[in-house]
Structure 1
Amino acid sequence: MAGVMAAYGRNDLRNIRRDSLLLGVLAGPFIYSGSSWAVAPLTEFLQREYQFDLTPYVPLIVSAFLVLGPIAVLGAVCGLILLEDKDQRTLAALHVTPAHPASYPVYRLVMMVLVVVVSETAAILISPLTGFDDLSWALPVTVVSGLLATAVGLVMAAWARNKVEGLAVIRALGLVIFMLPLIPWFVDSPWSWAFGVLPSFWPAKATWAAMAGDDFWPAVIIGAVYNGLLVAVLIRRLATRA
């Protein structure tokens, strides 16, 4: 099994090295983190010119730029690699090799979660809006983010026939991943929980709860279970279409 996993890893590195688009997208989380350095001067400007205090919205900004944004870009990386594998008939070839059929989806899930945990955690540490004190909530939240990013990649691979269609899918998913989950921040009503049907609602909700000093574990657990089930369903669909 270890040799099979290593072979998958070498294939990923080969795909990334020869595709400049993948290299650029991988930098996405750090670009988001870098943009968060503009929040402090923007806060001062708005306070000075318009007497508007941006500080209460910092958890919203963190959830958008350091949690949800990287999910979209890293999910796109996962999807593009899967589409490359489909083009090379890698998935179909697994049916006639000694490799266990579950080895590829297990590798893809584990690797994607690790990549998201490492990159999102690094982005959170780099940002001036957060720091080492936030690791207690950042690590479990990034695991949920990793599951969701995997789901995004699987959606791209299951519904798109090539990279062009895959990018169109990720653009359509962008609204669901990046924008709609932020609406409950402005909804002071139990109805805000209706947004829980969105898989990306849960990492955002956990971030808000953690930064408010509330218990974030319920949102983390629900998000992990929900996105884990979603990944399982999508893996099954991808396998039937390979």
Structure 2
Amino acid sequence: MAVNEVRALLERHGHIVQEVDGGNDHGEDLHVTFVQNDQRTADSVAVQVKGGVSTRTRRGHRVRVGDHGGNWRDGSLPVLCVVHDPERGGLFWANATRQLRRAEALRKTLKSVVVSRESVLDDASIGTFVQSMRNSLVWERQGLGRWADMADVEFAPNDIVKPFENECGEPMIFWQRRGEPFAVLLHHDLDWEPVRVQERMLRFDPIPVIGSVILDSAEAHWLMGCFQSTEWWRRPVEQSDLA
């Protein structure tokens, strides 16, 4: 019944739904490809569907990860958990891949995916849901979706996002939003907690730092390049630009 409810909602809005044989054994019940203007897009997700009663908590639902954690976190498709609980209003969803990546960033083991009661999936919300997932899949294809998930942030389509990896293989992200007077640094050593930075905070002597964050020489020069190449994107947004 739960799978049928999810399928009916998605197909009612024109999306392509394929049921996975043996999905309960492998942690995926459905593969969904989003459709726009009657045209199939390149954006697909996998979905694990659960009935609601056994997963209920006071604030929503929890879906046990079990032995699916590695596949849900690192698979080729993002995995969503959708719970069907008609007594509480219908369908509710959570991004399992995102929660598992965030747990990894915090060096924690996630035993259950949290599904909030506020994350309703219905005819009124499906448009916003699909657009959000499609936006995140654009960054996923660029190899940046993992870092957004680990930092628990969402990059907008017109954001400037520049990745860097130091000699120890530790990744960093420079993130500039349109019109913001500051950028955001996402850093492996900071557990991916977003840190606001400005060019005037960057120092090279006696050791490279930006604010209180210690850098190596390569990281500092990379950041300088990021600031200089995105100065135009920090300029105040004029009303004519918004129009």
Query: What TM-score, normalized by structure 1, do the two folds share?
Result: 0.27
Structure number with bigger Rg:
2
Greater relative CO (CA pairs within 8 A, separation 6+): 1
Task: From the two aligned structures, give the one with the greater strand fraction.
Answer: 2
Task: From the two aligned structures, give the one with the greater helix fraction.
Answer: 1
